[in-house]
Amino acid sequence: MRPAHAAAAAAILVAMSGAILAGGHRLASPQDEIVIAPEDVPDMPPEPGAGLEDGQAGDEASTEAIEPQQPDEALIRSRAIDPEFVAPPSTGAAPLERADPRPPLSKLSLALPPKPKMPDEWKGKPLFQPLATAAGVFQAMGYTVAISGVDAVKPDESCTDEAGKTWNCGVRARGAFRAFLRGRAPVCTVPPEGGRDTISATCRIGKQDIGAWLVANGWARAARGGPYAEAEEVARKERMGIFGAAPGLSNLPPEPPPVEAPVEPSPSILDLSGEPPPPSTAPAATPDFPPAPAQ
């Protein structure tokens, strides 16, 4: 850069600095402050109680300045409610009495007491896949169990009803007992190991006493001095099970006619006479050979 050009640039910088400083002083001068004239100030409402004479209450002046409020149109248009239906009934001078609560609609809303636990005498061993051999006797897992408190009805026993008709009630009672078990596992009080003689034990299926079911339905008799004597009396009175009438056979289809055997036996494909078969007259079959080649 030439010396002339450098001197010119320095002069320009000095001039610009002076202008900036002059402008700063101009902005900071008190002559440029904003002055608000009194006529530019908006009119403010007078303070309450201002300008009142001595002895004049300030509340009267304040109430005069307040405009009366107009009632709401919704309240004017609303109709009056009949107090006979909305207002509570008058109790009078008599004291209030507490009424008993109404009974519940169902037992679902009641807090029922817990179910009682099964007594200790019901504890036993489950016997799977039972097979009833009589009404009151079954076999399972190597045990032969006779229901305690029950006189079993043997399958070959016959009963006679009031009409004097004899029927095989033992087979019918055994079938009813098998239908009651239907593969379920009874729980009986038996020793830990089987393979012994017939054991008399109390058995149940779920919460159903098997002995009570047999006697109550008339498929067994109650043992003398046992707990099912009253159940047997009810079964006899109602003519249930073996104490009832013989089953009717009127609804059964008629018996099919007997099949007669043929008079002549059918011919057998085997020759049992022992004679040699007759000679065959048909020519013997010769095998077909290809012609010999010419020599």
**Residue 265 above 70 pLDDT?**
no
**Residue 225 above 80 pLDDT?**
yes
Q: What is the pLDDT of residues 141-186, one digit of tens each?
A: 989 999 999 999 999 999 998 889 999 999 999 999 999 999 899 9
Q: In angstroms, rounded to a whole number, what is the distance separating the alpha carbons of residues 158 and 155?
A: 9
Q: What is the pLDDT of residues 80-122, one digit of tens each?
A: 666 566 666 666 677 778 888 888 777 776 776 776 665 555 5
The per-residue pLDDT for 103 is 81
Six-digit token string for 163: 């009409």
The per-residue pLDDT for 109 is 67
pTM: 0.46
Query: Which distant-in-sequence residues (6+ apart) come within 8 Å of 160 by Cβ?
Result: 166, 167
Closest to 201 in 3D by CA, of 144, 264, 118: 144
Percent of the chain residues topping a pLDDT of 70:
56
Q: What is the pLDDT of residues 1-51, one digit of tens each?
A: 566 667 777 788 877 877 777 665 554 444 545 555 555 555 555 555 555
